[in-house]
Amino acid sequence: MELTYRGATLEDVALLARMNKQLIEDENSRNPMSVEQLEARMKRWLQDSYEAVFIMHGDDVVGYMLYRTIDDEYFPYNSNIHIRQYFVMRSWRRRGIGQIAFEQIVSDFFPGESAITLDVLERNPEAKQFWLKLGFAVYHTTLRREGNGEEPPELMPR
């Protein structure tokens, strides 16, 4: 399957926000943001420190990755890439696109020797298995307690 990649620009914010909404639904996230709110957030992110790459099949956008480079406090001479969002359209899944596209984006867009980190919602075991298959390992666990002392919601927002 022939895939190509292109960097997203501010003109792509609406498309990115619509795909982000699908990602939120697919993760069963508790994020209540509307597409308009996601669009405003995506615009801020792209203006600040995030970059987005579209996964393309011909003229069709089949997914995207949103990431940023952050300082690594332990190894400041190496880049640390934090992937905020990774999404393949529902109709394009289960074809190996996610794995192929991930490896190609890493090769084409990330500096060599970069450490890569990402977060996976605990209630999204399919995503966790996907990333484990790509060589990621659990590095730390984040726990959450709501300020009112009640049991925390089972899902975290994306």
119-140: per-residue pLDDT in tens? 999 888 999 999 999 999 998 8
Buried b (16+ CB within 10 A) or exposed e, 50-73: bebbbbbbeeebbbbbbbeeeeee
76-122: per-residue pLDDT in tens? 777 899 999 999 999 999 899 999 999 999 999 998 888 999 999 98
* Domain residue spans of the chain: 4-133
DSSP E strand stretches across 4-148: 4-7, 51-57, 60-70, 80-88, 115-118
Asked: is 4-133 a CATH 3.30.1330.10 domain? The reply is no
* Residue for token pair 């001479």: 77
Amino acid at 100: I
Q: Are 27 and 127 a contacting pair, CB within 8 Å?
A: yes
